[in-house]
């Protein structure tokens, strides 16, 4: 089985927006940079460059090659052969790429969202093809235009995507189980593309130009809310062939989430009836990315060994980033911290099955 980096990233660049349809070219993002010739009081490192979109600023981070262990050419996919060579060095056969800009929600206008998401998908489709299919992507959806989103699922399926992107709460706080999203879930199920809840912020009024937007409440916890929302409202039963992923939110929250569900099952069925599955993760087709810093034997007591994946967070340098993730997981198996079979499943079997790469 191939080794799959289940959570890598790209940094968008000017090339990303060259695919915007002609009538929507006026929505093309532009780059604005602050003068960095001297010290800037109160500005965090790397927070001096922005995308200007629809009258607002969104961070276009300036990254450190040493901290990320990457180069700008690889991060922005200018150098596909170089990125593939780096993947070879890291022992990675496939990278599944998530965006950077779209971890936030840069507009609440349907026409702007449509222009940006369609262009991103076509840029990634071209880059994926250039990589010979080794770099795959999770497609962005114009959720403010559901008919267009359904069309984008079909495009994604035919053009190198291996998943559909979602946030745990978006569009004015709509949670993952909101029926508004059911047409998207139906289309994803029919296309055999998983729905991937990556950490992120679904509020277009909160820009990552403000560092506090990246707090756990505003950024990291929405994927966990999706896990509970989908389960309590029995959405996986409505789409039994659909796979659901919870990406870059660690996995150590799973004991809490399952305990919360058990408590609701025992104490509040009168309020919100639901069927508590014997194995929530397995029976709901849930897959969760774990991180090397976690107590993986403990996590597997709750998740089992067939539904965990891992990613490097390639290009980023935050608390989720570990460029050597795949090698560390292998070493865990070799050293007996987990079994070799469990290490293989996390690195190979599970992400290949989740993303349809086997």
Mean pLDDT of each 10-residue bin along the chain, 358 residues long: 97 98 95 71 71 94 94 98 98 98 97 98 98 98 98 98 97 97 98 98 90 80 96 98 98 98 97 96 98 97 97 95 98 98 98 95
34 touches 48 (CB < 8 A): yes
Helix, strand, or coil here: 121? helix
Amino acid 215: pLDDT: 84
Amino acid 218: pLDDT: 85
Domains of the chain, residue spans: 4-26+66-355
Alpha helix (H) residue ranges in 233-283? 235-238, 254-267, 280-283
Q: Which two tokens stand for residue 292?
A: 């090397």
Amino acid 42: pLDDT: 54
In this structure, the strands spanning 94-98 and 169-170 are unpaired
Q: How far apart are CA 236 and CA 281, in angstroms?
A: 11
Domain 4-26+66-355, CATH number (from 3.40.50.620, 3.20.20.140, 3.40.190.10, 3.40.50.1980):
3.20.20.140
DSSP E strands: which ranges in 89-243?
Answer: 94-98, 135-139, 161-166, 169-170, 174-175, 195-198
Amino acid 37: pLDDT: 59
Amino acid 45: pLDDT: 64
Amino acid 40: pLDDT: 54
Determine the straight-line distance between the first and last CA of the chain, rounded to whole angstroms.
7
């Amino acid at each position: 089985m191939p080794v799959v980096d289940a959570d890598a990233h790209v940094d968008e660049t000017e090339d990303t927006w060259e695919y915007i349809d002609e009538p929507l070219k006026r929505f093309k993002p532009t780059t604005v940079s602050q003068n960095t010739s001297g010290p800037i009081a109160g500005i965090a490192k790397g927070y001096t460059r922005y995308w200007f979109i629809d009258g607002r600023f969104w961070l276009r981070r300036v990254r450190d090659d040493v901290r990320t262990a990457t180069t700008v050419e690889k991060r922005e996919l200018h150098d596909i052969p170089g990125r593939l060579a780096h993947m070879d060095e890291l022992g990675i056969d496939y990278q599944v790429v998530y965006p950077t800009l779209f971890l936030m929600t840069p507009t609440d206008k349907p026409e702007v969202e449509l222009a940006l998401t369609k262009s991103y998908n076509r840029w990634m489709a071209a880059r994926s093809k250039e990589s010979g299919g080794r770099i795959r992507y999770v497609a962005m959806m114009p959720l403010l235009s559901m008919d267009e989103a359904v069309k984008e699922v079909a495009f994604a399926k035919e053009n190198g995507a291996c998943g559909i992107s979602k946030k745990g709460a978006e569009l004015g706080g709509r949670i993952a189980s909101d029926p508004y999203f059911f047409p998207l879930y139906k289309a994803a199920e029919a296309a055999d593309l998983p729905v991937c809840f990556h950490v992120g912020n679904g509020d277009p009024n909160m820009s990552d130009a403000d560092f506090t937007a990246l707090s756990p409440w505003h950024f990291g916890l929405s994927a966990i809310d999706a896990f509970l929302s989908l389960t309590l409202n029995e959405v996986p039963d409505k789409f039994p062939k659909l796979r659901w992923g919870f990406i870059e939110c660690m996995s150590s929250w799973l004991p809490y989430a399952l305990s919360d569900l058990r408590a609701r099952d025992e104490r509040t069925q009168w309020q919100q009836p639901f069927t508590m599955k014997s194995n929530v993760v397995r029976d709901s087709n849930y897959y969760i990315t774990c991180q090397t810093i976690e107590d993986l034997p403990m996590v597997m007591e709750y998740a089992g060994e067939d539904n965990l994946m891992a990613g490097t967070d390639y290009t980023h340098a935050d608390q989720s980033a570990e460029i050597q993730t795949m090698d560390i997981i292998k070493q865990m198996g070799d050293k007996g911290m987990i079994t070799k079979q469990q290490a293989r499943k996390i690195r190979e079997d599970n992400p290949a099955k989740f993303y349809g790469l086997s």
